[in-house]
A and B are shown apart, each in its own frame.
Chain A
């Protein structure tokens, strides 16, 4: 589709933003037109979020100027930006889970009658109209916690539009969505575009960008390196712009699997609140083998890994786990680690890291028992050396080991999580979405690390929604659907289509329609 030729609604000119010690943005120019989907690309730390935070009035101190409809503006705070028609859908959605859909959409703008009594019916009507405009039929009376991530996102979009947003920033909106949900989001985006809303779209997924973008701007190291119509920038060029170097054969690795089972899962089942979440899952992972778990959201990938790792109470699960030929009685993550398992969770910030603590403490959290004198006194020198070695091995970019992990980029945080479990010298590593929200360069590094460790005999189970990555990295791919294994492919046999087909083999009529 040809972008509508008209003057930009929003222009950012010569934007420079400095933080103590770093220049996050250097003379960045960025503009977006009405009815345009503008993809903002760049590795983590390239300056995308900083730019968006300036646009949304979160950062108010910067050099350069912003023009809205040709008039200079400077937002005092996020509310101010909102009033000027700028809406932002954050990666971590800003909804109140306990409240209902309509209450969320109209939060702070409730319709009230005499004496401040809420006019529930009127609010529900307004909310349904907003949702109908997007062409989605979510019952506005449902509480947010009962909605799937994809639906929550649409509620956020409806909320932004009800605030008369003319410019909508979407920060990695699809990182938690399955393919068909992505499609639905895209049709909403296309409808918004047709109604003249400008959309700034941030994502790491290449496929998506080319199916939705009109225009692409690439940031690298805080500078604009390219800004072209999507049709004029090839995928290779785009990657090159982003990383500043050619990455060919990013995820290649040697096959080193041996016929020696390291992890055997037999009839693993999990029930929670009366719902069967995993249904007799069985598989084997050999020494040095990398096995992938594919499936849609809610298929049970995360549950499989966390159940193996002892994350659920023993009475909720059944089945056997054998590690290196011996049955393992895993009651808790503590047991799992003792048996030689490691788990890198999909939610790095909430489930893997203690953000306020330094790299050192995070990296040694699981392996601390190997660094103790009597009475549990930590041998600081041994600890520091161990962490230093991992920082070098994994190429963690940091000013030092005492830096809080919160200040690291996503890719480096992920490497700290890896370091934490590598220090326990695991036999089997379970990785859940190991490349979510990290940049292309770091993705390649993560899989390089996987390749090296597999060569040394570590077995891997990798759950991911990034099919191209699974196809490139795994020796074998299991496909899950509704907590069952519906297919198994050897390397080379698997295709995206075959995986998708197996991932949608529902037992009964799908309840996925909205």
Chain B
């Protein structure tokens, strides 16, 4: 009987180890599976696999990039046990500000004198908007810390505030962006008919005639930077520790509250960058864009294997999550499945990802 059990438990043990491995790289396996499915189910007019066409693949990279960038920031916030519901609204708000600063000029009275603001270069806009995003993140994080409420609440508030500000700023109209070729700068004050800094167009554009989307490259660079930070720096280490056990981390001499605020600032700044890309891509700053993007970002992070309780998650996972979502959208779109059904499928996928995490073999210990 004893030998029976040994024999029967040995493959059991192997299976467990295999499962462990599979779960550890859940998101990457998911990505491979969905790629295979996409190739199989792709429409093939004249024997050409539409999904695998270069243009389609580059499109996926383009469209995955905004959610991917959001997901990187969201991963940091979720790692430390928070959540940021405001990123979609922040994207829209930043889009509006950027378009306005790029295209229009305003006379702002400051301390008795009048300063003209606007018609800025793309670089100035990039810097200012990223700072504004970080500032919004600071408000999110600081208020959660100061009033000891979950970030769910403060960022829910900010979701409403940023959206409202975006609409108020633009009178609920989208601000069109018209870019000149270099040298053709904005000619008149507060004009329509002028041109903005053409460099701004690069943010959402492609590299020359290769068709390589710049947003995709930006996402890759950001993912690499934060992947490095999480793995190799004290900041990253402390994020995992504070997410896993905030009390123990604080008693190890780490200012957990400050750390939390930093993650929200980074998340806000990355949301701003995503917002700039979005505006550049659509050639307008619209206050009603990017609704629900926060949920896509959270979905990407969860599909990537992070735990909403904090302490667990990776950048590679969330980027894989962003691609899984985008490929799913893409293949359903190629097969002319309605957008409404796409939403349902996306939701089911999130549930599946979470269910898989629950099935993860728990390590019994003596």
A binds B: yes
- Measured between alpha carbons, how far is A357 from B249 in the docked complex, in Å? 12
Q: What's the dominant secondary structure at chain B's contact region? A: helix
Q: Specify which chain B residues have a CB less than 8 angstroms from the CB of A16 in the assembled complex.
A: 2
**Is A345 a contact of B235 with CB atoms below 8 Å?**
no
Give the distance to chain B from A431, nearest Cβ to Cβ, in Å.
13
Q: Does A108 contact B (CB under 8 A)?
A: no
Q: Does A59 contact B (CB under 8 A)?
A: yes
Give A21's nearest chain B residue, CB to CB. B13
Q: Specify which chain A residues have a CB less than 8 angstroms from the CB of B244 in the assembled complex.
A: 354-357
**Is B366 a contact of A24 with CB atoms below 8 Å?**
yes
**Is A311 a contact of B311 with CB atoms below 8 Å?**
no
Stretch at the interface among A45-53, A278-286, A455-463: A45-53
Q: Does B5 contact A (CB under 8 A)?
A: yes
Q: Does B319 contact A (CB under 8 A)?
A: no
**Is B312 a contact of A356 with CB atoms below 8 Å?**
yes
Picked from B251, B254, B365, the residue with its CB within 8 Å of the CB of A19 is B365
Give the distance to chain B from A9, nearest Cβ to Cβ, in Å.
25
**Is A365 a contact of B366 with CB atoms below 8 Å?**
no
Q: Does B250 contact A (CB under 8 A)?
A: yes
Stretch at the interface among A197-205, A262-270, A368-376: A368-376
- With A63-B2, A333-B251, A365-B252 given, is the CB distance from A49 to B245 under 8 Å? no
Q: Does B255 contact A (CB under 8 A)?
A: yes
Give B251's nearest chain A residue, CB to CB. A333
**Is A351 a contact of B237 with CB atoms below 8 Å?**
no
* Interface size, A (range): 35 or more
Q: Specify which chain B residues have a CB less than 8 angstroms from the CB of A22 in the assembled complex.
A: 366
Picked from B17, B235, B253, B311, the residue with its CB within 8 Å of the CB of A336 is B253
Q: Does B234 contact A (CB under 8 A)?
A: yes
- Measured between alpha carbons, how far is A368 from B234 in the docked complex, in Å? 7
Picked from A49, A333, A372, the residue with its CB within 8 Å of the CB of B253 is A333
Q: Specify which chain B residues have a CB less than 8 angstroms from the CB of A420 in the assembled complex.
A: 252
Q: What's the dominant secondary structure at chain A's contact region? A: mixed
Give the distance to chain B from A23, nearest Cβ to Cβ, in Å.
9
Give A341's nearest chain B residue, CB to CB. B253
Give the distance to chain B from A292, nearest Cβ to Cβ, in Å.
21
Give the distance to chain A from B76, nearest Cβ to Cβ, in Å.
14
Q: Specify which chain A residues have a CB less than 8 angstroms from the CB of B237 in the assembled complex.
A: 361, 365, 368, 378
**Is B255 a contact of A361 with CB atoms below 8 Å?**
no
Give the distance to chain A from B321, nearest Cβ to Cβ, in Å.
21
Q: Does A293 contact B (CB under 8 A)?
A: no
Picked from B240, B241, B251, B311, the residue with its CB within 8 Å of the CB of A351 is B251
Q: Specify which chain A residues have a CB less than 8 angstroms from the CB of B52 in the assembled complex.
A: none
Q: Specify which chain B residues have a CB less than 8 angstroms from the CB of A251 in the assembled complex.
A: none
**Is A376 a contact of B364 with CB atoms below 8 Å?**
no
**Is A378 a contact of B234 with CB atoms below 8 Å?**
yes
- With A18-B9, A63-B1, A375-B233 given, is the CB distance from A351 to B247 under 8 Å? yes
Q: Does A157 contact B (CB under 8 A)?
A: no
Q: Specify which chain B residues have a CB less than 8 angstroms from the CB of A357 in the assembled complex.
A: 240-241, 244, 311
- Measured between alpha carbons, how far is A354 from B17 in the docked complex, in Å? 24
Q: Does A486 contact B (CB under 8 A)?
A: no
- Measured between alpha carbons, how far is A372 from B238 in the docked complex, in Å? 13
**Is A353 a contact of B311 with CB atoms below 8 Å?**
no
Q: Specify which chain B residues have a CB less than 8 angstroms from the CB of A333 in the assembled complex.
A: 250-253
Q: Does B248 contact A (CB under 8 A)?
A: yes
Q: Does A309 contact B (CB under 8 A)?
A: yes
Give A59's nearest chain B residue, CB to CB. B364
Q: What 1/0 flags go to A19-44 for Cβ under 8 Å of B?
A: 11010100000000000000000000
Q: Specify which chain B residues have a CB less than 8 angstroms from the CB of A361 in the assembled complex.
A: 237, 240-241
Q: What 1/0 flags go to A326-345 for Cβ under 8 Å of B?
A: 00000011101110000101
- Measured between alpha carbons, how far is A42 from B269 in the docked complex, in Å? 55
- Measured between alpha carbons, how far is A353 from B311 in the docked complex, in Å? 13
Q: When A and B form their complex, which 9 residue pairs have the shortest distance between CB atoms, in order from nearest?
A: A337-B253, A24-B366, A354-B244, A366-B252, A376-B233, A365-B252, A354-B245, A334-B253, A376-B234
A interface residues (Cβ-Cβ under 8 A, vs B) = 16-20, 22, 24, 45, 47, 49-50, 59, 61, 63, 309, 311, 332-334, 336-338, 343, 345, 350-357, 361-362, 365-366, 368-369, 372, 375-378, 380, 406-407, 420, 424
Apart from A333-B253, A365-B254, what are 6 other A-B pairs with CB-CB below 8 Å?
A: A63-B5, A333-B250, A350-B247, A357-B241, A378-B234, A407-B365
Would you list 28 pairs from A and B whose C-beta atoms are within 8 A, ordered by A residue? A16-B2, A18-B5, A18-B6, A19-B366, A47-B366, A49-B366, A50-B366, A59-B364, A311-B251, A332-B253, A333-B250, A333-B251, A334-B253, A334-B254, A345-B248, A350-B247, A354-B241, A354-B311, A357-B244, A361-B241, A365-B249, A365-B252, A366-B254, A368-B237, A376-B233, A376-B234, A377-B233, A407-B363
